[in-house]
């Protein structure tokens, strides 16, 4: 069977049960744990897609293990299928109440178990795909407007007095679309996003707010470093070209505005508004420049 590269954690205190499941799950990357504590450690250390969890185990049983796994950031959304000899209604209800997504009784039927595993993995993939679509701009691959504001607000709440907002806008973008067509305009947007993504430091939040407008919020840079970052991006974009289908290499520019936190700018919205005002000053002053406030 072809390896799916999906990782399944099998948790059972009986080695013979683990051997059966490992053989059955041929084609998956299988991790094993003989107790709940080891399962929790693996969930923290490894990237796991699905957990098969026995209920009856010494010290930490399956229910308590499940609860703890749901409290861990890296495993809270991982689907858990309980596998157990308990088949009374109370045990089944408890399994779902404690966070299980499915329940298989022993002795299990191999084809049924595999079908349930495949179904849950498929659902997880679909959820992850939908989460990606809801968070990232399809054209550029960077944060979309909603996710940008969500992440930027989270950072601002942690380090308000270290926050700096930068707004950038492609100059005369309507003229680019009118002269060379919208598909070419899309490639210009992609090129700008690529340059920005390459140069934005770790910890800063980059997003496309809509159309030809982009924003960055940083939390760990000095005023001088923020100014240098904006100017570096602006100059790199001014040097870049995108090849038109006619063979002509087209250049373009951006204007930028930057605002650093000060007591009067005590919210993310206020900080971004100040940066946006500076951006429009840059536009009015002739474009292809940055205004710092």
Residue positions annotated with a catalytic role: 212
Q: Is the dihedral of CA 86, 88, 90, 93 positive or negative?
A: positive
Q: List, edge to edge, every strand of the sheet that includes 254-260.
A: 205-210, 213-218, 164-170, 254-260, 290-292
Q: How far apart are CA 30 and CA 8, in angstroms?
A: 5
How far apart, in whole angstroms, are the C-alpha atoms of residue 82 and residue 116?
A: 11
Strand partners, 51: 9, 80
Q: Which residues of 39-54 are buried (b: 16+ CB within 10 A; e: fewer)?
A: bbebbeeeebbbbbbb
Hey, which residues does 214 pair with through a beta bridge?
A: 168, 208
Give the count of beta carbons closer than 10 Å to the beta carbon of residue 288. Answer: 18
What is the number of other CB atoms lying within 10 angstroms of the CB of residue 119? 14
């Amino acid at each position: 069977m072809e390896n799916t590269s999906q990782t399944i954690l099998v948790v059972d205190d009986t080695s013979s049960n683990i051997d059966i499941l490992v053989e059955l799950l041929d084609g998956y990357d299988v991790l094993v744990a003989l107790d709940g504590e080891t399962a929790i450690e693996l969930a923290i250390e490894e990237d796991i897609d699905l957990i098969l969890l026995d209920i009856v185990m010494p010290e930490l049983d399956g229910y308590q293990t499940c609860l703890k796994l749901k409290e861990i950031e890296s495993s809270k959304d991982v689907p858990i299928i309980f596998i157990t000899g308990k088949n009374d209604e109370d045990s089944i209800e408890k399994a779902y109440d404690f966070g299980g997504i499915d329940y298989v009784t022993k002795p299990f039927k191999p084809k049924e178990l595999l079908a349930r595993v495949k179904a849950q993995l498929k659902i997880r993939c679909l959820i992850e795909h939908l989460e990606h679509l809801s968070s990232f701009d399809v054209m550029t691959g960077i944060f979309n407007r909603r996710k940008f504001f969500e992440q930027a607000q989270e950072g601002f709440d942690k380090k308000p007095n270290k926050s700096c907002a930068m707004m950038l806008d492609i100059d005369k973008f309507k003229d680019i679309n009118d002269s060379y067509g919208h598909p070419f305009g899309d490639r210009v947007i992609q090129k700008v996003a690529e340059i920005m993504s390459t140069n934005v430091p770790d910890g800063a939040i980059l997003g496309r707010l809509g159309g030809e407008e982009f924003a960055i919020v940083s939390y760990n840079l000095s005023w001088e470093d923020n100014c240098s970052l904006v100017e570096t991006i602006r100059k790199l974009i001014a040097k870049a070209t995108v090849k038109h289908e006619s063979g002509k290499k087209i250049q373009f520019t951006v204007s930028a505005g930057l605002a650093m936190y000060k007591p009067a700018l005590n919210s993310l919205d206020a900080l971004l508004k100040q940066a946006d005002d500076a951006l429009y000053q840059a536009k009015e002053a002739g474009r292809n420049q940055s205004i710092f406030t």
